[in-house]
Amino acid sequence: MPLGITLSKVTDQSVNIQSAVSEFILKFAMALAVVMGVSFLSLGWRVGIIVAAAVPLTLAIVFIVMMATGRDFDRITLGALILSLGLLVDDAIIAIETMCIIPKL
């Protein structure tokens, strides 16, 4: 560096990012709990167990693959996981309802 030039920290964004990621994780856990509770109440306990097992198992596999490939957990990743949770539960409910309707035909 040339003489007379110094570096100083202007801002530390890591604190803001850490609090945002913590808030996303809390909302993600709350959404997961609500989805599992609604599936138990609306579909019955046997079907609810299938949905309740599918969601955490799928998310655990996603986290393992992300860690194995070196992906970071950031706001965009966590937001995408929250959106994909809705799709995952919707697909599981549709598949289970289809299995319940087909034997009645």
67, 17 in Cβ contact below 8 A?
no
- Cα distance between residue 73 and residue 82, in whole Å: 13
- What is the tens place of the pLDDT at every residue in 49-58? 877 787 778 8
Cα(first)–Cα(last) distance of the chain, in Å?
79
Residue 99, pLDDT score = 72
Residue 1, pLDDT score = 73
78, 28 in Cβ contact below 8 A?
yes
The residue extents of the domains of the chain are: 15-104
Residue by residue, DSSP assigns 28-62 as HHHHHHHHHHHHHHHH-HHHHHHHHHHHHHHHHHH
- What is the tens place of the pLDDT at every residue in 20-48? 778 877 877 787 788 778 778 877 787 77
Residue 69, pLDDT score = 94
- What is the tens place of the pLDDT at every residue in 82-104? 788 778 777 777 777 777 776 66
